[in-house]
Structure 1
Amino acid sequence: MISGTALRAQQRYRDDAVLSATPEQLLTMLYDRLVLDIERGEAAQRSGDWPEASAQLVHAQAIVAELNSSLKDTWEGSAGLRGLYAFLSRTLIDANVRRDPDLVRACGDLVTPLRDAWHSAADAVAGTTQ
């Protein structure tokens, strides 16, 4: 069991990482957590742990909403991503309500390549600023 002091130290470390992150790093952190939530949600559904599955999928929906709200309409790719985020949100809700791990897996199959692409883009930006 982890002590309260250790938990507070872990939370402080996470808070500091977020506060000191560049916009590119924040975006990749969100995508990393989205993939993790989807993976955990699917695993929980497959094991029949419906409360945990729901918690993970609701958190994934919140991340999708945050990603959607962070889009700038001046960027030419924003309309496509908005459509994708709307689809993900609807599918995550449907997967949660229907308790369908295959729908959750389909969301993961869409999000994982996007996460990888954003990581590559963030790495490229970091390489040009050094």
Structure 2
Amino acid sequence: MFGTMKRGVNAYANVGLETGVAAASPHKLVVMLYDGVMVALLGAISNIKSGNIAAKGNAISKAITIIDNGLRASLDKKAGGDIAENLDSLYDYMSRRLLEANIKNDAAIVTEVHSLMSDLREAWVAIGDQPAPPPAAATAMPKTATLVSV
């Protein structure tokens, strides 16, 4: 009458994900993309080890899609300069390595890409923890201003 429990749980999870995406800052969205790639890569490794070729292929395809259509597509090469160019090259390398891992059924290659993603995610999260520097005008206090302590 009400459908399966699994379908209800999946619908609830999708609402939670959509709400998280809608409320996330651009910085948090990139972290979510890194997390999605890393989960897909762990699934690929698990499926390679268990011999589930179809699921391995799906997991690797999902990781490549997130890398190419999420992370690479979000790079602003004009504003990001050399950093954005280097990230683009690294994302391209990872996608190519994942294609090779899929063809060779090689968990070591997937682990390599997972390690690279983990390092990038850590760096990205650390950047987000840094407070933005105040604008130059806000740091200069007018000479007539006085500080009052309470």
After TM superposition, the score normalised by the length of structure 1 is 0.90
Which structure's residues are more often helix, by fraction?
1
1:31-50 aligned within 5 A: 31-50=34-53
Q: Which runs of 5+ in 2 are unaligned?
A: 135-150
Local SS of the residue matching 2:80? coil
How many pairs does the alignment contain?
A: 127
Q: Which runs of 5+ in 1 are unaligned?
A: none
Moved over 2 A (4+): 1-7, 123-126
Give yes or no for the alignment of 1:71 onto 2:75.
yes
Local SS of the residue matching 1:75? helix
Q: Percent identity?
A: 25
Q: How large is the RMSD of aligned CA atoms in angstroms?
A: 1.7
Query: Equivalent residue for 1:56?
Result: 59
Bigger radius of gyration = 2
**Structure 1 residues 113, 6: closer, same or farther in 2, change over 3 A?**
same
Query: Equivalent residue for 2:147?
Result: none
**Structure 1 residues 125, 42: closer, same or farther in 2, change over 3 A?**
farther
1:118-129 aligned within 5 A: 118-125=124-131
Deviations 1:25-59 (A, max 9, x none): 00000001111111111111011111111111000
Give yes or no for the alignment of 1:28 onto 2:31.
yes
